[in-house]
Structure 1
Amino acid sequence: MTSESQSSVLHKFKGILFSTMSSEELLNSLDSSETREDDVFLVSSPKSGKAYFNIIYITRNPKDTAVSLFHYYRENPNLPGIETWHELFELFLRGDVFLITNGYTTIHFSSVVYGSWFDHVLSWEEHKNAKNILIISYEEMKKDPSKTIKKITAFLGLSMSDGEINQIAWKTSFTEMKNNTTKENCDPNHTICALTSNRNLVFRKGKSEM
């Protein structure tokens, strides 16, 4: 992976690495965007803060995160080519050390898209005792989905029956979501389809050995 190939598909905005599909103009517009009371933030910008609403932060162990990222890089034509697991693993561990020099200036790039896993997770663990933040792990969700859903409903102040919780657990299971891929793959413009080279939904089992 050359400096030129990375700079053509990735750029850094306020310390975070983004695909060039998200232009600097678009990212800057988030700072001045007007929101309504009924807006739902699927991915919040730094402007939204974290003091006035509930946040559920999901972590995943670094080993499986790196493996998943390896497959994501290989299936996403908009990211630099990663040929081997060793190459991705080195990038994952290094964090923000990739440099591009044109003779006059040096540009620092995060080695992996969206930056260091370690910095990201540690920054949220500093708030683990905050009343409006619930930190749960992907591994505990996989081990006991219903128990985790109950924890989430309690955190959000919701009341649900065991039947409703079990229904949610089933609808969000790997088996059920995979069964729906045929219908979703009929739409080549589906957000996830557009991120893969074969324009199909990608569902990995995401099993953890930890």
Structure 2
Amino acid sequence: MSKHRKKFVALIDKAMADGNKMASEDLMFLYKGILYPSTICSPETFKALKSFEARDDDVFLAGYPKSGTNWVGQILTDLVTISAKHTENLNSLDDEELEEFPYLEVGDAEKYQRMENLPSKRVIFTHLLPDNLPSSIFKREAKILLLIRNPKDVATSFYHFSNGLSPLPSYKTFNDFFADFMMGKMPWGSYFDYVFEWSKHTDRKNIMTITYEELKENRALGVKQISEFFELHLTDEEIQGVVDRSSFEAMKENSKSTHGALGSVLFRKGSVSDWKNFFSEDHNQKMDMTFEERLSGTKLGEKLKYDVYCKP
């Protein structure tokens, strides 16, 4: 099992068990205007997060929920683990006691002290808005891979994810979910706020943006570009190995060992344009209008190729 997996599986399995026992109104809590899952996040953790000290060689992955962060996170972890085999850090990477859950804002308030003992390069994921990240990340200019996905597929995937995961609120109809999604009443907040706020940072030299769709279209090229951005210096053969292990079929097959009870929910389709099976004409009109109002003219809005991936 890879570097983060045991911690990942244990925390998610506990969250699933806890979620089954909780009343629906207790599943989420509000912190600074944004909703978060009570089973895996806490106000105490967010307060402690300010103390997190980034390193300039940290490997960050930022993405809104259901944009493909678990998929790309596995790619990143695989790349860094293979790269470490060329250095003297291999033994420390294999030390089970040094494991930590990869999502920065998920876990107990003491995790940031434990993270100081993690060997470099630390692979860290986050769903947070840039202004809610510790300031040290931007001060140290740690490299960040920013992952974005078209909003219609994000909404469709989030709907199934919410209904299949006990720590999150469930919905009787897609229409009910869609109303909450468009109002930003979602875990980790509004999709449109997320993309808009990160658009302000895309010119930074330490940030690389990639879309879920372009990675699906040419995974080999995307993996190579990610490796080069983080200066991991893998051979072509090693890159190809990462590509092969990161196919949807391979990840779905291994999902029980990599993601525990979450696996069957997480790896549902992994496709592009599944939204066409759920969006009505009214849904399309509302989403198109909001995208035009909020993200049209932004760099990330342009990169999403909305007319290509979100038009009937």
Normalised to the residue count of structure 2, the TM-score between the two structures is 0.53
Measure, in 2, the Cα distance between the counterparts of 1:176 and 1:92: 30
- Corresponding residue to 1:46 among 128, 133, 143: 133
Measure, in 1, the Cα distance between the counterparts of 2:255 and 2:198: 33
Measure, in 1, the Cα distance between the counterparts of 2:205 and 2:255: 37
Which piece of structure 1 moves more, 39-48 or 72-81?
Answer: 39-48
**Secondary structure, in 3 states, of the residue corresponding to 2:269?**
coil
User: Does 1:29 find its partner at 2:48?
Assistant: yes
Deviations 1:7-60, CA, capped at 9 Å, x for gaps = 422111123211122232333233344452736252357224324210001001
Displaced runs of 4+ in structure 1, greater than 6 A? none
User: Does 1:18 find its partner at 2:36?
Assistant: yes
Aligned positions, number: 181
Gapped regions of structure 1 (runs ≥ 5) = 96-110, 185-189
Higher relative contact order (CA 8 A, sep 6+): 2
**Secondary structure, in 3 states, of the residue corresponding to 1:11?**
strand
User: Does 1:155 find its partner at 2:198?
Assistant: no
Map 1:100-179 to 2 at 5 A. 111-179=185-253
Which piece of structure 1 moves more, 155-164 or 84-93?
Answer: 155-164
Measure, in 2, the Cα distance between the counterparts of 1:63 and 1:116: 13
Q: State the Cα RMSD in Å.
A: 2.4
User: Does 1:206 find its partner at 2:270?
Assistant: yes
- Shift in Å at residue 6 of structure 1? 5.5
Residue matched to 2:169:
80
Return closer, same or farther for 1:84/1:119 CA change in 2, 3 Å cut-off: same
Gapped regions of structure 2 (runs ≥ 5) = 1-22, 52-111, 127-131, 274-308
Measure, in 2, the Cα distance between the counterparts of 1:119 and 1:15: 12
Normalised to the residue count of structure 1, the TM-score between the two structures is 0.76
Deviations 1:119-156, CA, capped at 9 Å, x for gaps = 11111121112110001001011100010111112211
Residue matched to 1:60:
149
Deviations 1:139-183, CA, capped at 9 Å, x for gaps = 01110001011111221123223222111111011111122245x
- Shift in Å at residue 192 of structure 1? 4.8
Q: Is the 8 A contact 2:161 2:266 kept in 1?
A: no
Q: Is the 8 A contact 2:227 2:234 kept in 1?
A: yes
